[in-house]
Amino acid sequence: MEFYDIIVVGAGPAGFNAAKAVRELYPDKKLLVINDRDSLQIPCSIPYVMSGKLPVKKNAYPLEKVKEFGELLIDRVVSLEPSSLTLFTSESKFKYEKLIISTGWLPRRLNLEGSSLEGIYYIDTTTKGVSKLKEEVESSDKITLIGAGFISLGFADQIGKAFKGKEITVIEAGDHIASGVFCRDVESEMERELSSCGVKVIRNCKVQAFEGEGRVRKVITDKGEIDTSLVLVFIGFVPNSRIAVDCGLKVERGFIKVDEYLRASAEGIFAAGNCASHKSAIDGDFVSGMVASVSARDGRLAALNLFGAKVKDSGIVPAGITEVGSKFYGFAGYTERVLERKGIDFVLSSSSSFDGYPQAIGSSPLKVNLYFDQKGLLLGGEVVGESRGVWSLVEFIKELIAQRRRAEEVAASLTVAFPPQTPPPLLQPVQDAALNFLRGS
Ligand SMILES: Cc1cc2nc3c(=O)[nH]c(=O)nc-3n(C[C@H](O)[C@H](O)[C@H](O)COP(=O)(O)OP(=O)(O)OC[C@H]3O[C@@H](n4cnc5c(N)ncnc54)[C@H](O)[C@@H]3O)c2cc1C
C-alpha cells in the first residue's frame, strides 16, 4: 500500500487550490490528488458555452495542471478508514498523514412522475455532458428551466440573448428570483431585462410532473401545463459528502463539519469547498457557501493549516454576481429578504454614480444599495451596472462587511480613482450611500 504525506480528494477549485498551496508551502511532501472524472469544463462559464460566446474547447478545466503540484490519479475514492489513516479507491488503497476532502457538490434532483423522461437535464460538468447539452439547447425551440437561482438565470439569459425566437420559461416555486439575494426593486428590474431577452419567469409555481412518450413534451405545474422540448433542472446543489458520512465523520445539514481551521472530526482530515460546512462572518449563522470563490479560499486555508493551526476562518460574507440582459447584478452580505427573514430592522440607503469619469470618457451608470442595522453597522449591499466596475464594488462592500464597518467608517473609507476604470472621486457610490444613511439617522 503506497503512502503519501498529503492526499487531496477532488480537483475542483478547492482541491486544485489546496494542491497548489501544498506545493508552495511544503515542497518536500509527497502529494497525491485523486479525481473521479477527467475532461471537465469550468462550471462558472458553462452558460457562455451554451450561447456560443465560448467554444467548448476553450472552456476546458485545467485538470492536467494538477500534475505540476503532485501526482494525479483519475479514480473514485469509495471509502475512508480514519482510524488507520487509509483511503480506498475503486482500484487500490493508500495511506496518508493528512487528507483534504474536497468532493464538492452534486445537483439536487427532482423525483416526480415522468422525471426519467429523455430531454430532462441536470448540470453535468464533463466536456461530453456540456457538449451534449449545447446540442440540445440549439435544437430545442421550447426550453423550460426549473428554478430561478443564479445558475438558471445565467443559462436563461445567455440562451435568450443568443437564440431569438425560442420560447424560454423559468419556473420558480418561491416568490423570488436569483435565490432571493436582491431586493424586490432589483428583482423587478432583472425580470424586465430577462423579458427583453425573450425569457418569461413564472413565480410561485410548483412543478408536479412531466409528460411525454419517451421524451418530455409537457411540464405539469400547479398553474397549468407548459409545452416543452427541453427541461433544465436547476434546483440547487447538495454537498457531496457521502464518503465522509459513511466513515462516521460529523456532518451538519449534510456538509462535512469543520472547525475554524477546516479540520474535520477525525485526526489528520480536513474538508474544503462545497462539501464542507461554513459560517457567516456577519452573525455566525450557518451559510451554505457553495460557490467557487469560497472553495478556492478553502483549499488554500486547509493547506495552510495542515501541519499546525495557523490561519482561522473568521466566516464568509455571502457574495455573488450574475449577468442578466444588459447589466451585471452583484450582492454582498445580507440584503432585504434575508434581513426580513432574520427579523433584523434595517435601513436601506442608495446612491448612483458612474464607472468612469468624466462621463465623456465613455462611462456607464452604477447603482449601489447599502443595508445598515439601526446602529449603523453595514450588513449588506447590492450593485447594479453595465461593466466590471460591479465586481470591484461588490468586493469592496464584502470586505467592509467582513471588517464590521459602521456607516461613519464606510463614509470615511478610501478607494482608488482612475478615469477609465473607477467612479469619479466626486461621486463615490459606497461612501455616498453611507453618508445618505448618516443624514437620515
Ligand atoms: C453552471 C454553473 C455556474 C456557476 N457559476 C459560478 C460563479 O459564477 N461563481 C462562483 O463562485 N461559483 C459558481 N458556480 C459554483 C462553482 O462551480 C462551485 O461552487 C465549485 O465548482 C465548487 O468547487 P469545489 O472544489 O468545492 O467542488 P467541485 O467543483 O464539485 O469539485 C469536486 C471534484 O471532486 C470530484 N469527486 C467527487 N467525489 C469524488 C470521489 N469520491 N473520488 C474522487 N473524486 C471525487 C468531482 O468529480 C469534482 O471534480 C457555478 C456552478 C455551475 C454548475
Beta carbon of 292 within 6 Å of any ligand 1 atom? yes
Beta carbon of 289 within 6 Å of any ligand 1 atom? no
pLDDT of 292 higher than 90: yes
Is residue 344 a contact partner of residue 334, using CB atoms and an 8 Å limit?
Answer: yes
CATH code for the structural domain at 2-36+75-106+237-305: 3.50.50.60
Beta carbon of 54 within 6 Å of any ligand 1 atom? no
Beta carbon of 317 within 6 Å of any ligand 1 atom? no
Which residue's CA is minimally distant from atom 27 of ligand 1? 104
What band does 358 get if pLDDT is binned at 50, 70 and 90? very high
Residues in the chain: 441
Beta carbon of 322 within 6 Å of any ligand 1 atom? no
Name the CATH topology of 326-440: FAD/NAD(P)-binding domain (3.50.50)
pLDDT of 147 higher than 90: yes
Q: What is the pTM of this model?
A: 0.96
- Residue to probe by mutation, ligand 1, list 36, 288, 395, most atoms within 8 Å of CB: 36
Beta carbon of 117 within 6 Å of any ligand 1 atom? no
pLDDT tens sequence across 166-211: 999 999 999 999 999 999 999 999 999 999 999 999 999 999 999 9
- Residue to probe by mutation, ligand 1, list 46, 74, 103, 323, most atoms within 8 Å of CB: 103
Which residue's CA is minimally distant from atom 37 of ligand 1? 103
Name the CATH topology of 109-233: FAD/NAD(P)-binding domain (3.50.50)
Which residue's CA is minimally distant from atom 7 of ligand 1? 44
Asked if omega into 358 is within 30° of 0 (cis), the reply is yes
327-333 and 319-324 beta bridge pairing: antiparallel
Whole-number Å distance between alpha carbons of 400 and 416: 15
Beta carbon of 325 within 6 Å of any ligand 1 atom? no
Beta carbon of 104 within 6 Å of any ligand 1 atom? yes
Beta carbon of 103 within 6 Å of any ligand 1 atom? yes
Whole-number average pLDDT of the chain: 97
What pLDDT sits at residue 265? 98
Beta carbon of 15 within 6 Å of any ligand 1 atom? yes
Mean pLDDT over 295-318 rounds to 97
What pLDDT sits at residue 441? 64
What pLDDT sits at residue 388? 85
Beta carbon of 9 within 6 Å of any ligand 1 atom? yes
CATH 3.50.50.60 residue ranges for the chain = 2-36+75-106+237-305, 109-233, 326-440
What band does 92 get if pLDDT is binned at 50, 70 and 90? very high
Q: Mind spelling out the 3-state secondary structure of the chain?
A: CEEEEEEEECCCHHHHHHHHHHHHHCCCCCEEEEECCCCEECHHHHHHHHCCCCCHHHHECCHHHHHHCCEEEECCEEEEEHHHCEEEECCCEEEEEEEEECCCEEECCCCCECCCCECEECCCCEHHHHHHHHHHHHHCCEEEEECCCHHHHHHHHHHHHHCCCCEEEEECCCCCCHHHCCCHHHHHHHHHHHHHCCEEEECCCCEEEEECCCECCEEEECCEEEECCEEEECCCEEECCHHHHHCCCCEECCEECCCCCCECCCCCEEECHHHECEEECCCCCEECCCCHHHHHHHHHHHHHHCCCCCCCCCCECCEEEEEECCEEEEEEECCHHHHHHHCCCEEEEEEEEECCCCHHHCCCEEEEEEEEECCCEEEEEEEEECCCHHHHHHHHHHHHHHCCCEHHHHHCCCCCCCCCCCCCCCCCHHHHHHHHHHHHC
Nearest ligand 1 atom to alpha carbon 321? 8
